């Protein structure tokens, strides 16, 4: 059965009111897909379907639902029902959900949850957004130095920790400081009497509750971890972050870089969920800044009015110079921004990078200006001087653009700005002004005096 057939079948069962069969059918599906199916349901059917699900599944499905859908559901069910849902959810998912609710609703809902859950969630709500603390979950297995494999397996069985959070056990001392970690698979291939310390990996890789999610993602990716422990200011273990959540963080951080590189304020919501004013508001600030800075390029053109009047070929070359300069700069800056994000390039590499880009610029400049020189002579019947001035300006533009393009992101990072912010739009404007200035200076020197 493909997905459309599955949806059709579910539609049928739902409209026929066969709730038992519907429940059975839903149990065959992944919670992600159930949440996907619910997207197209109206309020009444959504509520019906949701109540048909077994409680543990419904909490899972709820974590995967859209903000809109959750909102709709929350408005339709009693506070007590929401509280029961929160008791079933993983702490990190519950916190994510509560952060969406208006403050008074949070209070009301939390009143009905179990006191323990409430205390934990209140603690979590204090961590800064996008910090390790706000991402972590407290569902993990801790063991101590005196335990052996049998004790550990028993403890898993008793606490009944669910989900993949159980696949790394963390050994803590009496002050709850992290001593080491034990991958569960190592425990399964040794006799049950084996002391855990023998299996322990003492190399501790952890993050702090206040670390940014980007740091967490970089660390997990670097060490190929399934989960990473989170410690508080005093080095005591307080939670873990699992790799499935990290994947979402990686995509989020990449989206943010894409947006910044295109002069967009990072969006909070997916495209179709954003209001028109938000969409326009996210774009306007940079457009305004860049539009105003491009007046500089205009001023340069005005200043050299007499040069422009000599031959229309000079005006006609402006788009080529500006576009090629912008593109060259953008190529260099993109390579730097990615290099910085992936940890391949650092500020201390600045001279090495500059030297590399300078030589790459020379090579590219020679090729592009040779083609342009030939084009101007053969197709546009330009004079030698005219062709020479334009193609040399192009050459200089390429070299300058490559140099500006690679230096700016590194400088931005040095002064703790986001390298992606120094990217394409700003570089284009800078390169435009510089290349036009070089162009007209050369042109006025050689053409007006010729």
Q: Find the binder of a copy of itself among 118, 283, 377, 383 (CB under 8 A).
A: 283
Binding mask 151-170 for a copy of itself (x = CB under 8 A): --x--xx--xxxxx-xx---
With a CB cutoff of 8 Å and minimum separation 6, the contacts of 213 are: 130, 131, 132, 135, 249, 252, 253
Chain position carrying tokens 């284009």: 428
Q: Which is nearer to a copy of itself, 110 or 170 (CB)?
A: 170
Q: How far is Cα 68 from Cα 74, in angstroms, rounded to an integer?
A: 10
Q: Which is nearer to a copy of itself, 94 or 225 (CB)?
A: 225
Q: Which is nearer to a copy of itself, 109 or 433 (CB)?
A: 433
Nearest to 6 by CA among 27, 29, 23: 29
Residue 326, interface with a copy of itself (CB under 8 A)?
A: yes
Q: How far is Cα 14 from Cα 230, in angstroms, rounded to an integer?
A: 44
- For CA atoms 240, 208, 247, 121, give the dihedral sign: positive
Residue 312, interface with a copy of itself (CB under 8 A)?
A: yes
Query: 3-state DSSP: the chain helix, strand, coil percent, rounded to 5?
Result: 70, 10, 25
Q: What angle do CA 303, 305, 306 make, to 5 degrees?
A: 115
Residues 371-430 that bind a copy of itself (CB under 8 A): 371-372, 375, 424-425, 428-429
Residue 248, interface with a copy of itself (CB under 8 A)?
A: yes
Least distance to a copy of itself from the beta carbon of 131, Å?
Answer: 20
Residue ranges in 112-195 assigned as alpha helix (H) = 115-124, 132-135, 149-159, 184-188
Q: What is the total count of residues that contact a copy of itself (CB under 8 A)?
A: 116
With a CB cutoff of 8 Å and minimum separation 6, the contacts of 392 are: 369, 442
Q: Which is nearer to a copy of itself, 238 or 364 (CB)?
A: 364
Q: Which is nearer to a copy of itself, 107 or 163 (CB)?
A: 163
Q: Find the binder of a copy of itself among 110, 199, 322, 447 (CB under 8 A).
A: 322
Cα dist. 271→90, 255, 276, 310 in Å?
Answer: 28, 12, 10, 49
Q: Which listed range, 127-135, 169-177, 241-249, 411-419, lies at the site for a copy of itself (CB under 8 A)? A: 241-249
Residues 70-109 that bind a copy of itself (CB under 8 A): none
Binding mask 167-186 for a copy of itself (x = CB under 8 A): x---------------xxx-
Residue 30, interface with a copy of itself (CB under 8 A)?
A: yes
């Amino acid at each position: 059965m493909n997905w459309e057939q599955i949806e059709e079948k579910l539609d049928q069962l739902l409209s026929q009111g066969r709730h038992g069969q519907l429940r059975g059918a839903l149990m065959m599906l992944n919670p992600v897909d159930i949440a996907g199916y619910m997207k197209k349901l109206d309020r009444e059917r959504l509520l019906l379907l949701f109540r048909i699900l077994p409680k543990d599944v419904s909490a899972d499905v709820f974590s995967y639902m859209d903000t809109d859908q959750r909102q709709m559901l929350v408005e339709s069910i009693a506070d007590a029902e929401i509280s029961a849902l929160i008791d079933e959810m993983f702490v990190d998912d519950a916190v994510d959900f509560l952060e969406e609710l208006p403050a008074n609703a949070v209070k009301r809902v939390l009143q009905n949850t179990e006191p323990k859950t409430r205390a934990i969630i209140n603690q979590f709500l204090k961590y800064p957004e996008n910090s390790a603390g706000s991402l972590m979950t407290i569902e993990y297995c801790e063991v101590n130095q005196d335990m052996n494999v049998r004790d550990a397996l028993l403890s898993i069985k008793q606490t009944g920790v669910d989900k993949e959070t159980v696949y790394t056990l963390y050994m803590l001392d009496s002050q709850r400081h992290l001593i080491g970690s034990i991958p569960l698979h190592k425990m399964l291939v040794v006799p049950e009497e084996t002391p855990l310390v023998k299996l322990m990996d003492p190399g501790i890789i952890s993050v702090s509750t206040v670390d940014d999610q980007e740091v967490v993602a970089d660390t997990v990716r670097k060490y190929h971890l399934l989960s990473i422990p989170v410690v508080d200011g005093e080095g005591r273990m307080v939670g873990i972050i699992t790799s499935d959540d990290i994947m979402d963080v990686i995509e989020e951080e990449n989206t943010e870089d894409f947006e910044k590189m295109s002069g967009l304020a990072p969006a909070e919501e997916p495209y179709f969920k954003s209001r028109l004013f938000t969409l326009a508001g996210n774009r306007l600030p940079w457009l305004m800044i860049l539009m105003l800075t491009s007046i500089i390029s205009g001023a340069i053109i005005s200043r050299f009015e007499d040069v422009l009047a000599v031959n229309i070929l000079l005006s006609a070359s402006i788009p080529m110079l500006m576009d090629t300069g912008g593109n060259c700069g953008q190529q260099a800056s993109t390579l730097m921004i990615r290099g910085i994000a992936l940890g391949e390039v650092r500020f201390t590499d600045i001279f090495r990078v500059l030297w590399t880009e300078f030589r790459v610029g020379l090579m590219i400049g020679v090729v592009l200006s040779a083609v342009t020189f030939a084009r101007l002579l053969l197709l546009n019947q330009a004079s030698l001087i005219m062709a020479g001035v334009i193609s040399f300006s192009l050459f200089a533009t390429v070299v300058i653009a490559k140099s500006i393009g690679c230096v700016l992101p590194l400088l931005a990072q040095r002064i703790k700005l986001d390298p992606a912010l120094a990217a394409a739009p700003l570089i284009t404007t800078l390169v435009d002004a510089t290349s036009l200035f070089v162009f007209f200076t050369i042109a006025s020197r050689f053409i007006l005096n010729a």
